[in-house]
Amino acid sequence: MSKSLKVSLITVLAFGVYFFIDELFFRELRKSIFHGIGQMGVSHIIAYTIVGIPIFISVLILHGRKNFFQSLGLRSSLTKGFLFALLCTLPMFVGFAFVFEFNQDISLNTFLILMVAAAFFEELYFRSFLFGQLFRYTRLGFIPSVILGALLFGAVHLYQSTDPGELIGIFLVTFLGGLLFSWVYTEWKYNLWAAVFLHLLMNFSWELFSVSDNAFGSLYANIFRLITIAMIIVLTLLYKKRRGEKLMINKQTIWKKPAAN
């Protein structure tokens, strides 16, 4: 069996097991942990970590303990990832401050669940694992590697919808978000922190002000979000140009990567 096929099979199988466990047992597991420690946000993080065990085991099988964190993009610069994300999301924070009211109901649980856990674990499981293992360690190109994760990423956010139009809007926003975060993760040399902090700060700006009850948002919300997306793309391109680096996702790698010489 080729390495590319082995990585693909183990990655998809492990993610499938994780997804199955998450869908069936996450809420009960979180509830049980909450009864023991009495803090919902921390319970949520612990439960999210536990249901990810199939993913962690598969990474150990594929890369061993020595390369565990590196293969998930966790050894990259946290500072660089944070500064890039902060600069890109400033339009959302500043714009929302002018247009929307401050959300006085924001709580520690909101921060831990909707920002910290959502940003870290969704990027870890969907981007650095499901997408990252396929794109980094097989000959699959960007589109074949990203499409399953982006579709699932869009699908798991559909619970926020209340009508068909909203459902479509939420799916498109989160699906395209999955594509964008995968692109950022790749072009910043598999620095997961760039994607994590982008996700966290975009969510934080959304919750810090009374923007919307779901990921779709209003006209003004999406104007400032589009400015942030433009900043993400432009600053990434400038970063690559300044360092004299070619884009890692290009016409040679969009469908299938060339064989190594």
Q: What percent of the chain has pLDDT over 90?
A: 79
The answer, yes or no, to whether residue 216 has pLDDT greater than 70, is no
The token pair that represents 137 in the structure block = 């360690």
Q: Within a domain: residue 250?
A: no
Task: Please report the pLDDT score of residue 166 as a whole number.
Answer: 67
Q: What is the average per-residue pLDDT within 22-37?
A: 96
Structural domain count of the chain: 1
Q: What percent of the chain has pLDDT over 70?
A: 92
Q: Within a domain: residue 203?
A: yes
Q: Within a domain: residue 44?
A: no
The answer, yes or no, to whether residue 72 has pLDDT greater than 50, is yes
Question: What confidence tier does 210 reach under pLDDT thresholds 50, 70, 90?
Answer: confident
Q: Within a domain: residue 42?
A: no
Domain that holds residue 119: 72-242
User: Among 59-63, 116-120, 217-221, 239-243, which stretch is predicted with the lowest mean pLDDT?
Assistant: 217-221
User: Among 8-17, 160-169, 195-204, which stretch is predicted with the lowest mean pLDDT?
Assistant: 160-169
The reported pTM is 0.93
Q: Within a domain: residue 159?
A: yes
Q: Within a domain: residue 133?
A: yes
Give CA–CA dist 140/148, Å, rounded: 13
Q: Which amino acid is at 50?
A: I
The token pair that represents 225 in the structure block = 């979000």
Q: What is the average per-residue pLDDT within 175-193?
A: 95
Task: Please report the pLDDT score of residue 157 as a whole number.
Answer: 62
Q: Within a domain: residue 164?
A: yes
Give CA–CA dist 71/87, Å, rounded: 26
Which is more confidently placed, 40 or 162? Answer: 40
Question: What confidence tier does 190 reach under pLDDT thresholds 50, 70, 90?
Answer: very high
Give CA–CA dist 256/259, Å, rounded: 9
Q: Within a domain: residue 152?
A: yes
